Chain A
Amino acid sequence: MSPQDLAAQLEQLHAAAFGWALSCCGWDRPAAEDVLQASYLKMLDGRARFDGRSGFRTWAFGVIRRTAQEARRRAAWGRWLPLTRLLFGPEAADGRPDAATALAQADDTARLVRALARLPARQREVLHLVFYEDLTIAAAANLLGIALGTARTHYERGKAALRRRLEEKD
């Protein structure tokens, strides 16, 4: 795939990719923008190559997910080792506004973001892919590299947990 084709495909997928990056970063907008940019850089520089074994969206979302994990790991190291801060620059993790209030203005959506943040990562990922990205459970399982049955379990448990959290009084 030529860099122009790749950029065109990424542009089509951009809004969905940003939504996925938000989910992977716990709805932290600056972190999501950073992760999305780092992911695009990996794809356009050829450090992550699309070999056609899966769909383009599945591949791109996989790259974003791994990049978010790396960013989280680096931030965790940065908290413990001052040397990594010297190498990678200061992390702007502290002092940010609450992710839910920064992104979602309406009460319902703010509550949804807060409830999602309290779910286990796998459940949150499956629910996001199914409800936000409109993927099937099978496609979500493929993207996350887990068995269909496992994805279904995460989906059902996540749905139940999310409903309970949404019904709780603030």
Chain B
Amino acid sequence: MTDDTEQRLQQQFRALRGEVGVGGGTPRFHDTIAGLATRRGRAAQVRRRSWGVAGGIALAAAAVALLAVLRPAGTRALPVSLAAARWEAPTDFLLRTPGAELLRMLPTFTTEGRLLP
């Protein structure tokens, strides 16, 4: 880049600096400092609001968690152990035959040869 470009840019930036500096372009230092107290108050307000919002969210989350824990027992689903459950088909009675219990017991006879009940 030529020195000519640099010189031209330097002149233009100098003119810009002059325009910012004159005619009340730059705010007075003491005015800037004087506004700090207001700004501190505003920052404290923002902090308070942030804590308020965070607290509200935390409260809502706690309420949801509490509701989940304290839900009435009747509405909760009971755990079912599949290993312990025995299922019977509604048509099982058709397979029951009269005298079927005789097949699962030992007959007892008297000395006279009578079958005991």
Contacts and interface: CB of A to CB of B under 8 A. Distances in A.
A160 B1 contact: yes
Interface residues of A, number: 38
Interface in B36-66: 36, 39-40, 42-43, 46, 49-50, 53
A132 B13 contact: yes
Contacts of B33: 7, 40
If over half of A's interface residues share one DSSP class (helix, strand or loop), that class is named, otherwise mixed; here it is helix
A112 B16 contact: yes
Contacts of A15: 21, 26
A29 to B, nearest CB: 8
B53 A87 contact: yes
Contacts, number: 79
A87 to B, nearest CB: 5
If over half of B's interface residues share one DSSP class (helix, strand or loop), that class is named, otherwise mixed; here it is helix
A68 B19 CA distance: 22
A10 B30 CA distance: 11
B26 to A, nearest CB: 5
Contact of A89 (B6, B16, B42): B42
A108 B12 contact: yes
B53 A83 contact: yes
A156 interface: yes
Given A37-B36, A40-B36, A103-B19, A112 B29 contact: no
Q: Please give me the 6 A-B residue pairs with the lowest Cβ-Cβ distance, nearest first.
A: A131-B13, A14-B29, A109-B16, A11-B29, A18-B26, A132-B13
26 contacts: A10-B29, A15-B21, A18-B20, A18-B26, A19-B20, A33-B27, A33-B32, A37-B32, A37-B36, A37-B39, A38-B39, A41-B39, A44-B36, A86-B49, A87-B46, A87-B50, A88-B46, A103-B20, A103-B25, A104-B20, A106-B15, A131-B10, A159-B1, A160-B1, A163-B5, A166-B12
